[in-house]
Chains A and B, each alone.
Chain A
Amino acid sequence: MWGIICILISNFGQVYIPQLIKNGINSIFDKAESSVILKFVILITAVSLISGLFRFLIRQTIIVTSWKIANDFRFDFWQHLQKLPLRFFQNNSTGNIMSHATNDINSIRTFAGPSVMYTIDNGVKFILVFFIMLSMNPLLTLYALIPSPFLSLVIYLLMNRVHAKYVRIQEKFSDLTARAQENFSGIRVIKSYVREEYEIENYKKESREYLNRKMDLVKIQALFIPVFLMIAGMSFIIVLWAGGSSMINGKFTIGEFVAFYAYLSMLIWPMIAFGWVATMVQQAEASMKRLMKIFNEPYEITYSEKSETKKLHIKGTIEFNNVSFRYKDNLPLILDRINLRIENGQTVAFIGQTGTGKTSLVNLIPRLYDVTEGEVLLDGINIKDIPIETLRKNIGIVPQENFLFSDTLANNLIYGLDEENENLIKNVSDISQLSKDVEGFPKGYETILGERGITLSGGQKQRSTLARALAIDPKILILDDSFSAVDTHTEEEILKRLKVFMKDRTSIIISHRISTVKDSDKIFVLHNGKIAEEGTHQQLVELNGLYADLNTKQLLEEELSVMD
């Protein structure tokens, strides 16, 4: 609102200046006293100062507001994003989501800021200037403005054609990118069949087409300046001609003539800005549509609030009743009517080939996904009735992809906690056999991870994510293939210590290695989304089925690895 008042005041000032120039020059013409002329000179500067001050305020209100709007918008976007289910992040690439948060929000800011500012500013200016010119000399105004509708029209027509050409250029550019990407990915094939020359020729064709399409656009785009020059220039020539004739007749003063020139140049920018703002608005509209699509994504994972579950003390008995699961409606079932029961304090293991649904099964427990059919019970309560935060705070999960933030190691380890705790860090690092590694780091636990710091080995990463899960003091611990990059000796050490830590807690281990699972209270062998075998190591070996087969193979592998 203040912005509009500023625009009004500033524009009144701006259009007043040519009047002052006119009066100044006229008074020179009338050979007025120098004090009169001095008055005008001072007035010009003063009005310009005031107008400039308000011009400053325009930006400080409208543009600043637009940044605030963008800020709020992005905040809402993020808040929403965090609540979306994992499914969403698997279906949308990171780059895509990022482009919403940056490009789309930015084009909305451009709309809310510069577009609004220019529209109001130029609209006000146009009206003011038009009426002043009209009051000075109606006929000359009409003459002078004859070319301007053509300017708007031609710019509009050109813009339309430019857009189509621009799309064609973008398409070719994607082709260029895709071609290069494909070539570099398949470089082995190209080299081994000695097809480099052919590929270069192909790329030449694409690049040449890109050049041609660009020049196609240039042919149109190069028209903008000449057209603008011609049409705006014509206005000035008409004013000189018609105005000059009036001056000869004495109907028009030299001061008025100069002022007219000044007003004309004020009118040209609004006419150009018009086309520009139109494009901005279009972009903002498209961005808004894209953003709304994300804002309309449902949260999916919700819970029905029941008072008795609010302050729940979780013990850790897990039960699956006829649980089936699929990722999407049209995809096959990943889990098919699973029934199982894990007593609190037990250690159970899931084993089976890749793609048999082990990870999907454990992901259902902290509700990273919801079951398609059936129910999962925790201490006899359907997990859908437990507040998500309560549920997840009690489950320590070490996911397959060991993701760590580029922050200090300490901050990564206490990620699940609300405050720092040095003893705890030490303790969980000991269990996960991380302490020795940390001693070797120059900054110890304060070492920064990721690209700005050190890169951890696969095993170190796995042990760090394990420590991070242990730090939240979980009632249920889920290890999803967490030792794949850890050597067997270290793994044994960790398992030994975990046994102590996991007393009275429930642990679920997923692994491919028999050595990891063999001491579990119960082992489930998953096959094609179903539980194929279950029992202790001894029972399963005697069963002589899938598990026994795997066992034999791993023994062989071990034999091989020690051979020289």
Chain B
Amino acid sequence: MAEQREDEILGKAYDSRLMRRLLVYIKPYKRYVIAAIIFNISVAALGPIRPILTKIAIDDYIMNKDYNGLFMIVGILFGTLIIQAFVQYFLTYFTELVGQKIIYDIRMQLFSHVQKLALKYFDRTPIGRTVTRVTNDVDALNEMFSSGVITVFSDVFMLIWILIFMFSMSVELTLITLAVLPFLFWATFLFRRKVREQYRKVRQHLASLNSYMQERVTGMNVVQIFAKEKQELKKFSSINDNFKTANIKSVFYYAIFFPFVELLSAVSISLMIWFASGEIINGVLTFGILTAFIQYMEMFWRPVRDLSEKYDILQRAMAASERIFNLLDDNTVVKDVDNPVLLNKVEGKIEFKNVYFSYNPGELILKNVSFTINPGETAAIVGATGAGKTSLINILTRFYDIESGSITIDGIDINKLDAKELRKHISLVLQDVFLFSGTIKSNINLGNSEISDDQIIEAAKTVGADNFISQLPNKYDEEVKEKGATLSVGQKQLISFARALAYNPQILILDEATSSVDTETEQLIQTAIEKLLVGRTSIVIAHRLSTIQNADKILVMHKGELKEMGTHQELLARRGIYYRLYQLQYKDQEIVKTA
């Protein structure tokens, strides 16, 4: 809804600041643009030549009864027509090509920019909005580049040509023809203003109709629970009527404008005939000129009328580019380090020293957290919801930067590392497995060609995913639908384990899923996890009894602080927070196991 409203705001039709930025994108295609302009000028000239040729045909040949001359002119006319048709084709083609190439560039720039944005951006921006920027908004620009700007050029060129031809034939008749022009301008201006005002009202009514419907459809259960259908229908009816009335008013302006323009053109023709009659009788003007002028008039009217439409296109494009540039200017990125340290061989020693962290300033999520995990160790993090477990892994992977304290890997502060460099050594397995549309294979190697097919299969075998994959019709090339809809929860988890293993990281972070699976799958997953943890430093947000029992140390998080640390038995004996957590979250699994 906010999205919709934001998208409806129409600003200025021309903003030089935005325009300058947009024009930068044309630069790489200078040659195309120059070609398009040349085509433009020729097409604009070829159209207005025909009435001139008609005039010559009438005055010089028909009136002089010259069959051959007439035939010649017809031939020339035919020739210009063919040339015009060809040039017109290439003009359309090249302007579209430039427009498409530019929006391709803008789209890719935008998409690449979004890839760099920090998670903070994604936290506060609905995904739909970012998607709209990259898709619809970029496409709205196309209209401006291909049909808007360039046709304005050709319209202007054509008007100039027509004026040149008209003046060369008869200055007086031209002036008489143009005498109506101020009225046309005035009418168009007035019409445009009225229509724009009315259009805005229509949009407003449409917006309130839409938001009314949207809200009632979403809350239909409330409407029905309170049996308010009759009253709601009344309300709907009045909003619906307002929308209708606003539209009918705008119909009125169109109904007045078009006939008025026709009337103007009739007046103009009348004036021409009236004026020409005397001049022709006096021999100053010819019939050919009169005929040519009547044709020019029709050519003249259209571009002037179209101006208002161009205005709307430009306005929409400006609004879209404003939103696009806003996103491009968004600098929510995890800052790159000037001279990043390179990590070659990672042992896997992780140390947190007095770490403080908050998502929003003033709301501390982690307070004074310090611990060390030695290479090859498995640390389990436990705690109630909101204790800060997920935040711990978010800062270790530098999805977010900490407020104070330090996090080191093998003694190197992670702030001195490039975020990408850091992440190359860490595999993260999230609670909600995210699968991309593609194949099983592409979901394990994530498109990394350095991971061979053998390695993929090896990884899948190790975590026990190979069993079900090899039973699929296309095995590792089996198509995975959006979000892996065709796979079971357990299968998705096994794939995400295989993914982590295929990347063979020195550090593994695992956020165990809580969703319940059947006993058989549970067995598979437990075995897989055990294999996953071997030989690397691992941090696990644990939801499984088996995981905490096997961990080298357990970190007990409580209200953002590290409250207890030790092995399962040590912590149980302490009878503190862990003891209660254990009874609350893990003890049931013991019962299931023995049962």
Contact = CB atoms under 8 A, between A and B. Distances in A.
Interface of A: 17, 21, 24-25, 28-29, 31, 34, 37-38, 40-42, 44-45, 47-49, 51-53, 55-60, 63-64, 67-68, 70-71, 74-75, 78-79, 81-83, 86, 89, 94, 97-98, 101-102, 173, 176-178, 180-196, 198-200, 202-204, 207-208, 210-211, 214-215, 218-219, 221-223, 225-227, 229-230, 233-234, 236-237, 240-241, 244-245, 247-248, 254, 257-258, 261-262, 265, 366, 368, 388-389, 392-393, 395, 397, 399, 403, 405-406, 415-416, 418, 451, 472, 553, 556-557, 559-561, 563-564
B446 A198 contact: yes
B446 A237 contact: no
Interface in B207-251: 210-211, 213-215, 217-229, 231-233, 236-237, 240-241, 243-244, 247-248, 251
Interface residues of B, number: 133
Contacts of A247: 62
Nearest to B247: A67
Contacts of B237: 75
Given A21-B269, A186-B436, A219-B93, A94 B251 contact: no
Given A222-B93, A366-B225, A181 B215 contact: no
Interface in B53-110: 54, 57-58, 61-62, 65-67, 70-71, 73-74, 77-78, 81-82, 84-86, 88-89, 92-93, 96-97, 100-101, 104, 107-108
A203 B100 contact: no
B217 A89 contact: yes
Given A44-B270, A82-B223, A75 B240 contact: yes
Contacts of A101: 213
B187 to A, nearest CB: 12
Given A24-B273, A211-B101, A248-B67, A98 B213 contact: yes
A63 B274 contact: no
28 contacts: A21-B294, A24-B277, A41-B274, A51-B262, A56-B255, A59-B251, A63-B251, A67-B244, A82-B232, A184-B127, A190-B446, A193-B499, A196-B116, A203-B111, A204-B108, A208-B104, A215-B97, A218-B96, A221-B92, A240-B70, A240-B73, A257-B291, A258-B290, A399-B222, A405-B215, A418-B231, A560-B577, A560-B580
Contacts of A261: 291, 294-295
B88 A214 contact: no
Nearest to B443: A189
B93 to A, nearest CB: 5
B17 interface: no
A310 to B, nearest CB: 15
A31 B84 CA distance: 38
Contact of B226 (A34, A234, A240, A392): A392
B166 interface: no
A260 B291 CA distance: 11
A360 to B, nearest CB: 13
Interface string B293-325: 011001000000000000000000000000000
Contact of B287 (A41, A48, A189, A254): A254
Given A257-B291, A399-B225, A560-B577, A222 B92 contact: yes
Nearest to A388: B227
A197 B222 CA distance: 47
B262 A52 contact: yes
A185 B127 contact: yes
A218 B273 contact: no
Interface stretch (B346-354, B405-413, B426-434): B426-434
A560 B575 CA distance: 12
A44 B269 contact: yes
A184 B122 contact: yes
Given A198-B448, A222-B89, A563-B577, A21 B70 contact: no
Interface in B404-459: 420, 423-424, 426-428, 430, 434, 436-437, 446-448
Q: Which 10 pairs of residues, A with B, have the shortest CB-CB distance?
A: A52-B259, A48-B266, A59-B255, A226-B85, A222-B92, A192-B428, A416-B226, A71-B244, A403-B219, A55-B259
B437 A182 contact: yes
A233 B81 CA distance: 7
B252 interface: yes
A367 to B, nearest CB: 9
A225 B420 contact: no
Given A48-B263, A200-B112, A204-B108, A244 B62 contact: yes
Contact of B281 (A31, A192, A219, A557): A31
Contact of A218 (B92, B114, B219): B92
A416 B229 CA distance: 11
B177 interface: no
Contact of B233 (A28, A82, A102, A227): A82
B221 A229 contact: no
A57 B251 CA distance: 11
